[in-house]
Every structure is written in C-alpha cells, then in structure tokens.
Amino acid sequence: MKTYEEINRKIESGEAVVLTADDIIDYVDQEGLDKAAAEVDVVTTATFGTMCSSGCFLNFGHSKPKMRMTEVWIDDVMAYAGVAAVDAYLGATQLRHNDPANMYYPGDFRYGGGHVIEKLVAGEKVQLFALSYGTDEYPLKEIRTYFTIDDLNQAIMTNPRNCYQNYNVAVNCSDKTIYTYLGELKPNMANLTYSSAGQLSPLLNDPFYRTIGVGTSVWLAGAHGHVYAEGTQHASDCLRGENDVPMEGAGTLALTGNMKEMDSEFVRGVSLKGYGASLALGVGIPIPILDKDILRNCTVRDSEIFAEVIDYSSTYPERGGDIVGRVSYADLRSGEVELDGKTVATGSMSSYSKALKISELLKEEIKRGDFLLSKPFQKLPANQGMTPLDVKAQGEKR
C-alpha cells in the first residue's frame, strides 16, 4: 500500500515512476501485477473530445462610470448576466445572435460560445456589448468595447459535465440522413460514430471512483484545475461488465480551471452541422497507484471496454430502452464493425492521438515535479441513478 503523501514526496524529489495508461498495459504484461504495483507510482489518463456542458465565468472589471450589466454579448454571443454587476457566464453551446440555427436545415452553426472561448484562450481580441436598466450607484446603461483575456480580472472555466465514463455509439436505422451531436449519420446503418478515448479515458481506468473524486487535481487544457463536484447526469448505478467497467454512460465530472493558463491547442470551438455549437476540450487525470487493485483497473484494454449502439433516429429521441448491439472500442477503432450481419464504417468524435499527447504531457509535468496529486475530500456517488424529466400537468403527482 502507498499513500498520496508518499507518492507526492517521490514526485517532489524527482523519483516518481510515471507511465501513461497506454504504456502501463504492456508494462504489467512484462513485469507482472505485483512487481508493477510496487514500482509504478502514477498512471496518467486523458481524453479529448466535444464536451457540451462547458463554459466560463468572466469578470470584466468596472467601467467609469460604473455599470450593472444585465444583458451581455461577447462577439454577439449572449452570456448569462444574472449574477454580480460585471460577472457573466458564457456557455459553450450558446449561438451567436441571429444565427439561423436550423431554420434552413441542416444549419451550419458557424459560431458560438465554444468559439469565443477558443479565441479568448488564444489571446485574441473579442467584442463586449452590454446593456443595463441603470441604478443610482451603477448609472451607465450601455457599453461597447473590446478586450482580450489579459484584460479580465478572472476567466474561470466552470464545466458542469465533462469526461463521461462511457458513452453511446450512434447509428441511424432510418432511411434518411440525420444530424446529431455525434455527427452526421447516414441512412440504413451506413456509418456509426462514437466519442471516447477508450483505454486512455480517466473514469474507465477508475471504474468505482477510488481515486477520482471531488478535489482531485486535473490537467484541464494545460491549466491545473480540479474536480469541484460530481458532474450533472452522473449515473453510477449502471450496467457493468464482468471487469466492473460500465457499458453505458455512467459517471461524469464537474471541472474548473484558470483559462489564463490554458493552451488553445486543447480548447477548440466546434460546429456540429444540424445540431449546434460546442467546445472540444482536453483533460488529463493522474491516478495514484495506491495498491494493485487500482493498477489492475488501469490495465483495461479497448478490447475489454464495450459500449451500447443506439439508434439515434428513433430510440434516442424517444428515450427508448432498446439497443442495436454492443461493440468494443478495439473494434470501433479498427474502422468498421459488424452489426446485424452488416459491415458498418466507424468514425470517432474524439481524438485518441490528442488524448495520448495529453497523457504524455501530464506524465512529463509529474516527473518534473510540476504537478502534485491531491486526495479527494469527497467520493463521487457510487450507486446513483438518473431521473428523467416527465411532462406533467399542474398539480399532477409523479
């Protein structure tokens, strides 16, 4: 057994043994579980993909005269101003004002909150336009100006739901093309799409949240952030395989970090045809090897991780329970899978190569002593389901 304190002392002294989740698999095969657990201190996990439940709090500072901003647009993308005078929250999926959306289906959704966030992290200039009703102490009623991230007092990425433990594989069983947040799906199961880093993904390497919890330090697009809560829609009471790995969505994480420290390579605005705007984000999470059970979980392979194939033309929008089948991430990454006797082309909405790069960058930071581990001060809920929204009349009981 090791402790966080012991591992952090080794990190500070430059003696920690750190491997990526990709490398640890072969290492354990070669050295055996017991020897590897004694030698290895940290395994780095990572993912890079579209994470719609993301956004940021921005503080603009006070103008002269002062203003209580009640409506805010950044590059014509509306931000939520129902907080303090010059604070606003910009959501990744908010569209630019007057975007035609799906009026001319399928819409292009060329610019939204995710693109603004990318520009800010890249140090580019953006426009602020704000309105107010005016008060005695905040008399200004309108302002238009330009700023960069360096002009802000704070720019704090605050994401309610990132890093899904597992996720649906999307397919289209109808006879027409459909457009989804998992991309374009051709008719009659001509293609399918998925979004996961598989064996690199953080929560797939910690299936019961033994080391990842509230307070865990994370690498968030290059910044040092942390888990501030369970993610929204965290549903740990899920179907699991014999290896305890979830076979459906399961856990999620709420993450936060300083945008001023981020690298724009890992913060990218996304336009999803026919669906909307979003943000692609890179996340890395170190797993301390406290014992051999934790290490065993970190040796999970793509061939041992399965996801459900869902028909997004009917089952998904109607909240149905049927699945087309289950496939492994090894098969998904091969480029084609067999479903109902048909060969179906696969495509990924996440980047395995970016995730691998992040896991390597995090490994090097830890080996240099620049990134220490933090013990969670609160566990993620272990047996939690998810409540659906049922439409009810006023006064109707559930």
Encoding tokens for residue 201?
Answer: 């993904």
pLDDT in tens, 27-74: 999 999 999 999 999 999 999 999 999 999 999 999 999 999 999 999
Give percent above pLDDT 90 in the chain: 97
Average pLDDT over residues 390-395: 87
pLDDT in tens, 129-183: 999 999 999 999 999 999 999 999 999 999 999 999 999 999 999 999 999 999 9
- Whether residue 189 contacts residue 253, with contact meaning beta carbons closer than 8 Å, is answered with no
- Quickly state the pLDDT bin for 335 (edges 50, 70, 90): very high
What is the C-alpha separation between 89 and 158, in angstroms, rounded? 9
Rounded mean pLDDT of the chain?
Answer: 97
- Quickly state the pLDDT bin for 394 (edges 50, 70, 90): confident
- Whether residue 172 contacts residue 178, with contact meaning beta carbons closer than 8 Å, is answered with yes
- Residue 396: per-residue pLDDT: 77
Task: Please indicate, yes or no, whether the overall pTM of this predicted structure exceeds 0.85.
Answer: yes
- Whether residue 192 contacts residue 344, with contact meaning beta carbons closer than 8 Å, is answered with yes
Average pLDDT over residues 325-333: 98
Is beta strand 223-230 parallel, antiparallel or unpaired with respect to 276-288?
unpaired
Residue with tokens 């002593």: 369
- Residue 360: per-residue pLDDT: 98
pLDDT in tens, 206-244: 999 999 999 999 999 999 999 999 999 999 999 999 999
Q: What's the gap between Cα 87 and its chain centre?
A: 24
Q: Of 186, 181, 185, which is closest to residue 271 (Cα–Cα)?
A: 181
**What value does the CA radius of gyration of the chain take, rounded to a whole number of Å?**
22
- Residue 225: per-residue pLDDT: 98
- Quickly state the pLDDT bin for 346 (edges 50, 70, 90): very high
- Residue 56: per-residue pLDDT: 98
Average pLDDT over residues 282-292: 98
Encoding tokens for residue 113?
Answer: 């909150």
Encoding tokens for residue 317?
Answer: 């929008």
Is beta strand 191-194 parallel, antiparallel or unpaired with respect to 342-348?
parallel
- Residue 176: per-residue pLDDT: 98
pLDDT in tens, 261-270: 999 999 999 9
- Quickly state the pLDDT bin for 89 (edges 50, 70, 90): very high
- Quickly state the pLDDT bin for 398 (edges 50, 70, 90): low
- Residue 397: per-residue pLDDT: 72
